[in-house]
Amino acid sequence: MEIDRYTTISFSNYFSLLNYNIRRGITGNENMGRSTLKIGTNYEREVEEKYKSKGFRTHRNIKSRYGKQDLLGISDIVATKNDTFLLIACAVGRAQTKTVKKILEIRPWIPPFVKIKYYIKKKDGTEEERSF
């Protein structure tokens, strides 16, 4: 039996869409829609949109299956505008001790014009902003 290239492309598309849907929780698995990764990603998008509406150019670092690929191990979003350069970290629930330690350790080696902000969305819906 021979499979032509159009069939393999169709299979490839099918499996990539299936994988996408599984990761996004669209295929009927209701638990995926409320996973902590999904909640955190949505919060990062909220913060990113907040800065975009203020005229910043933003880049949200994409996660991979091999872990976070963020700038300097501390930021989820990079925002720039004119002479402003921000590294933004986001958390849901509570501040991550590991992230705060990384920020404090690396702060002395980052130029003073680079600002670091840490946004925490608490369980009660309030938002805390820390500047470093």
CA distance 132 to 99: 12
**Where do the structural domains in the chain lie, given as residue ranges?**
1-34, 36-131
Distance CA 55, CA 127 (A): 21
pLDDT digits (tens, 9 = 90+) for 49-82: 999 999 999 988 766 544 555 556 788 899 999 9
CATH number for the domain whose boundaries are 36-131: 3.40.1350.10
Per-chain mean pLDDT for the chain: 77
pTM of full prediction above 0.75: no
Buried residues in 90-99 as b, exposed as e (16+ CB within 10 A): bbbeeeeeeb
Name the residue type at position 78: V
C-alpha span between 54 and 10 (Å, rounded) = 42
